[in-house]
Structure 1
Amino acid sequence: MTKATLKFDGEVFWKPPAIYKSSCEINVEYFPFDEQSCTMKFGSWTYNGVQVDLKHMEQVPGSNLVKVGIDLREFYLSVEWDILEVPATRNEEYYPCCTEPYSGNTQLTEYYPCYTEPYS
């Protein structure tokens, strides 16, 4: 069971506990000097943006960007790669079928491999 907070104006704040696992394609064209990026998208396929308005909990009114979009406190450092940035962006899209917007969040993680031996 998870807890939701209901505000006086009807807004509901719900922070579902979850662990997300994903995989991304790796482009090694510039190996060993490559940078990688991985994108995860969160949104509803069932409810439109009027019914469910997804926002990042750190999002400032008037801005769609959150510079640090994920909590890295439990992130384990790696000897193979470093994280450069983890911004989150709120998106609002309109589809031909519907007059209402659909909102979602895109989480982008950019990282680069760390190589301990020189390559020639």
Structure 2
Amino acid sequence: YWKDQHLRWTPAEHEGIQQVHLDPSDLWMPDLALYNRVGGDVAPTWGAAPLLVKSDGTVMWFPPSYFKVPCALDLALWPRDTHNCTVSLGSWAHYGAQLDLVLMGNNSGVVMGELHQGPQWEVVGVVGARNTHIDLTIVFTVTRRASQHAAYINTSMMGV
């Protein structure tokens, strides 16, 4: 989320309206860049989602997102391996006095209930940090969902 002092209003003066939803094309949006994207442009892929603007000037935006980032691989425990995948977000055009990025919720910045997990991987942890250069680092810890076939092979190998 971010705050825009120009979007403040007193609800009592506007029929008690405390918040409104707006299209992202109607307001200024921060130029968030994915610093460590794999393959090509650093612009993240954001899905369509309205902005929630509160009377105190807080602007909240929860777009569905698709990021392709590198993961530190350690296959020593395959097929029960766990990996850390890091997402680094920030702005190329704005510095801290102009754009202050803040993590929400459980301090990861990720709404876990809305996280789509594929059949091969399970997200077992998310940790976020706001860095001194006003960028965000979010680390997803994922573990492989070992198939019955892989478990069967492991059991057979250990039994021999």
TM-score (norm 1): 0.65
TM superposition shift of 1:6: 6.7
Q: Are 2:90 and 1:43 aligned?
A: yes
Larger radius of gyration: 2
Aligned length: 102
TM superposition shift of 1:112: 1.2
**Cα root mean square deviation, aligned:** 2.7
For 1:77 and 1:5, the matched residues in 2 are separated by 29
Greater relative contact order (CA < 8 Å, ≥ 6 in sequence)? 1
Q: Which has the higher helix share?
A: 2
Large movers: runs of 4+ above 6 Å:
none
Flag structure 2 segments of 5+ consecutive residues without an equivalent: 1-22, 25-50
Q: What is residue 73 of structure 2 aligned with on the other side? A: 27
Indicate which of 107, 111, 120 corresponds to 1:80. 120
Asked if the contact 2:83/2:143 (under 8 Å) is kept, the reply is yes
Asked if the contact 2:71/2:86 (under 8 Å) is kept, the reply is no
What CA deviation, in whole Å up to 9, does each residue of 1:29-56 have, x standing for no partner? 3041421111111111111011100111
Between the aligned residues of both structures, percent identity stands at 20
Q: What is residue 63 of structure 1 aligned with on the other side? A: none
Flag structure 1 segments of 5+ consecutive residues without an equivalent: 60-65, 94-102
Asked if the contact 2:84/2:141 (under 8 Å) is kept, the reply is yes
